[in-house]
Amino acid sequence: MSKIVLITDDVHPHLIDGLRKIGYAIINKPSLPYADVSQYIPEIDGIIINSKVIMTDELMGLSPKGDDGKHRLEFIGRLGSGLDIIDLPAAKARDIRIFSAPGGNKNAVAEHALGMLLSLANQLCWADRDVRNKAWDREARRGFELINKKIGIIGFGNNGRAFAQKLQGLGVRVLAYDKYKVHYAEDMDWVEECDAPEDIQKQADVISLHVPLDDKTYHLIDKGYIEKCKNGFILINTARGKCVDTKAVLKGLKEGKIKGACLDVFENEKPHTFTESESTMYDELYNLNQVVLSPHVAGWTHESKYLIADILLSQIAKFNK
């Protein structure tokens, strides 16, 4: 009997076709509500998830054990890179393999981050709005150039490195910090490796986050962090919303400590669940002219959809050899 994989989100057909070719039967439920995922766990050998499905200890525990003592669920495939939605210790305890595709959307994220920054610098969102409204105030839409600016990158993994590569040739100086790496930018002469995050805080005109969400990065950008930064810096966040304390950033923007922000991710990305205080906070953020916002789509391109599928398929195929 074929092993079964449950797909809980929209994926490129390349992944579905590839899984079938290596012997899997597919339950393709891209619109499956999270509440209904549990009913499928006992009958599947693998699951493909995106951000809407949180693989908890309880959920994994619904997978039955065989005569060999192993759980039927053999693997979890994450469409992307963030593993904060998976209880990793629980998966390890059950010998459930974790597959992800951290390199699949690195170019997409880097291009998106640069696009947001250029849009902010040149006021393109508001210039577009003005022209559509037949307004023609060129002086009000005068932008600034990136040349000679210092751009700080926090986290130099796949996405951070890709963003640094996009900045080559723009006449900027890149300051990078990664607490888990050394000698990571030796091949990039426009990038300076910093010994401490304070080096970036003191110097950077732009700070871009490229870190995973964990206990150490939760609210990494908070009131205290912002106070130590260069006055009038620009914040870019294409990583995880909860790496940033939204209230602190909003305060910094309103007071001018933060000159502008490019935000693709947010602490709460489900507007229908906003509390009254969250609704007020986000309304204030949305009404600011010095921000560029997008709905967590930095890594969400047609090309990255295929690349993520291909990377996951390669890992799963290797696992089955």
Residues noted as catalytic: 240, 269, 296
Q: Measured between alpha carbons, how far is 193 from 297 in angstroms, rounded to an integer?
A: 29
Q: Measured between alpha carbons, how far is 24 from 17 in angstroms, rounded to an integer?
A: 10
Q: Measured between alpha carbons, how far is 232 from 157 in angstroms, rounded to an integer?
A: 27
- Assign residue 148 a region: left if phi > 0, alpha if psi is -120 to 50, beta otherwise? left
Element (H, E) at 284: helix 276-286
Residue 227's SS3 state is helix
Residue 46's SS3 state is strand
Write the CB contacts of 146 (distance below 8 Å, at least 6 apart in sequence).
117, 118, 121, 170, 171, 172
